[in-house]
Amino acid sequence: MKEFRPAKKRVEVSVGESVRILRELQELSQSQLSELCGIPQATISAIENSRVNLGVERAKVLARALQCHPAVLVFPGWEIPLEHAA
């Protein structure tokens, strides 16, 4: 396996921004995401704008709809030591 160099972190991403980024990458509107996960569109907007905390249960529901692991939403800036990476 070829050696690699991890990318440098360029910007800080909030929990709300991570939700917005994943939603936009999948070309979903807030209303469409709301229909997929059952969370009201106004709540999704509040999460994306950091007016409401995401919380574990909402993270699970949103992660299922966005087809990602909940940790991607809850810990967007998390870094692990290279020796622990899979």
- Give the dihedral sign, CA 22/53/10/3: negative
Give the span between the Cα atoms of 19 and 7, in whole angstroms: 21
3-class DSSP state for residue 23?
helix
Q: Domains (ranges, CATH) in the chain?
A: 15-71 (1.10.260.40)
Confidence of residue 57 (pLDDT cuts 50, 70, 90): very high
Instruction: Report if pTM > 0.85.
Output: no
Tell me which DSSP letter residue 7 carries.
P
Between 25 and 12, name the one with better pLDDT.
Answer: 25
Classify the C-alpha dihedral 76-77-78-80 as positive or negative. Answer: positive
Contact 85, 79 (CB under 8 A): no
